[in-house]
């Protein structure tokens, strides 16, 4: 089995302190704290780290019991910071110092929702792009002007730091980190267990207008069109073709599609083709031209261009990293360092 990529974290640190959101703690725990090895997911070692072992009160009458001190961050391979109930809550200086030292060591750090404020307090977002909940973008800009706040994305990466928007986008980021490190099948297995969408791109819009009865009918029509496209990925699809299937003009179709999904029809289609190609590369020995044909890219060259743009890798290298035929034991022979 070829070596896996250098970013393959299994030692995950949740950084806890008074004021963090219980929901984000639950998301982190659900993604990395559940044993799903029977479904092909790696066994993660998730630790709840804090400045001291005292229970940490959470909103709603809950509490979190740390099981490691912040010293454990020195051996962590990924650090995840939950969001905050009060987004201007100052993090304890030991937490900020531990995050700075971890960043200096090159440890990847991810923040969910208002956790971006904690990273900004530590100075880790100075001169970097970051995202947070759409309703908090002005607050983050005002209190941390050194941060370039991106107003309309689900999650993004700048250097070795990830930030995400609110609530569900935190799930998207966590699944993205699993997918990047361990492949689409591992992320999909976790998503199925959580009954959530396995793949939303970070560039998808955060805010989608609440539907009215009329747009509900449009959404049903568009859902049927998306289902058709997914079951006919090998076929070429233009916006005009999909619009005709929905009984709309191309312009109206594109407008309603983005209002419903937060992304454009072609961007959505490319995302689905990439996800389908990832699964075929992981789970089959099909030649690359056949993978490209079955997923609608048409040619290996086109598929390679989209993999380079969206995954920063090639289909061949992705297969070398994540290929595994069901029923065969997986052997990890090391790491591929850039």
CATH superfamily of 267-322: Homeodomain-like (1.10.10.60)
Proportion of the chain above pLDDT 90, given as a percent: 63
Q: Is the pLDDT of residue 209 over 70?
A: no
* Tokens coding 146: 């050194």
Nearest Cα to Cα of residue 144 among 163, 165, 121, 111: 121
Q: Which of 15, 27, 13 is nearest to 167 (CA)?
A: 27
Calculate the average pLDDT of the chain: 86
pLDDT at 260: 78
Per the CB < 8 A criterion, the answer to whether 79 and 73 are in contact is yes
pLDDT band at 94 (very low <50, low <70, confident <90, very high): very high
Contacts of 301 (CB under 8 A, 6+ apart): none
Give the residue-averaged pLDDT of 150-176: 90
Q: Is the pLDDT of residue 3 over 60?
A: no
CATH architecture label of 4-194: 3-Layer(aba) Sandwich (3.40)
* Cβ atoms 173, 157 nearer than 8 A: no
- Write down the pLDDT at residue 287: 95
The full set of domain ranges for the chain reads 4-194, 213-261, 267-322
- Kindly tell me if the per-residue pLDDT of 215 is higher than 50: no
Whether the predicted pLDDT of 218 surpasses 90: no
pLDDT digit string (tens) for 21-35? Answer: 999 999 999 999 999
Sign, CA torsion 236/238/241/247 = positive
Q: Looking at residue 323, what is its pLDDT?
A: 80
Edge-to-edge strand ranges of the sheet holding 109-111:
68-69, 45-50, 11-15, 78-81, 109-111, 161-164, 155-158
Q: In this predicted model, what pLDDT tens digit does every residue of 115-144 receive, in sequence order? A: 999 999 999 999 999 999 988 999 999 999
Q: Among 197, 208, 199, 204, which residue's Cα sits nearest to residue 256?
A: 208
One fold for both 4-194 and 267-322? Answer: no
């Amino acid at each position: 089995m070829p070596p896996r990529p250098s970013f393959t974290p299994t030692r995950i640190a949740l950084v806890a302190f008074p004021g963090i959101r219980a929901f984000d703690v639950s998301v982190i725990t659900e993604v990395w704290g559940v044993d799903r090895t029977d479904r092909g997911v790696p066994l993660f070692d998730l630790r709840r780290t804090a400045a001291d072992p005292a229970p940490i009160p959470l909103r709603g009458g809950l509490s979190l019991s740390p099981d490691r001190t912040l010293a454990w961050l020195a051996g962590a391979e990924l650090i995840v910071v939950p969001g905050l109930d009060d987004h201007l809550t100052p993090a304890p200086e030991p937490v900020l110092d531990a995050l700075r030292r971890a960043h200096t060591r090159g440890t990847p750090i991810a923040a969910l929702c208002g956790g971006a404020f904690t990273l900004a307090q530590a100075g880790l977002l100075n001169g970097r792009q970051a995202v947070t909940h759409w309703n908090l973008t002005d607050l983050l800009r005002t209190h941390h002007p050194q941060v370039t706040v991106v107003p309309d994305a689900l999650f993004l990466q700048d250097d070795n730091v990830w930030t995400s928007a609110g609530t569900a986008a935190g799930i998207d980021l966590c699944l993205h980190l699993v997918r990047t490190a361990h492949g689409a099948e591992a992320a999909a297995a976790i998503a199925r267990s959580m009954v959530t969408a396995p793949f939303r791109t970070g560039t998808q819009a955060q805010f989608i207008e609440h539907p009215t009865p009329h747009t509900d009918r449009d959404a049903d029509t568009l859902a049927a069109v998306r289902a058709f496209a997914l079951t006919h990925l090998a076929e070429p699809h233009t916006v005009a073709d999909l619009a005709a299937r929905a009984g709309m003009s191309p312009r109206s179709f594109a407008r309603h599609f983005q209002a419903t999904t937060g992304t454009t029809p072609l961007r959505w289609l490319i995302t689905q083709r990439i996800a389908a190609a990832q699964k075929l590369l992981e789970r089959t020995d099909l030649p690359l031209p056949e993978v490209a044909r079955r997923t609608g890219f048409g040619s290996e060259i086109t598929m390679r261009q989209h993999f380079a743009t969206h995954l920063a890798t090639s289909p061949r290298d992705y297969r070398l990293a994540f290929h595994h035929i069901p029923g065969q034991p997986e052997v990890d022979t090391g790491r591929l360092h850039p």
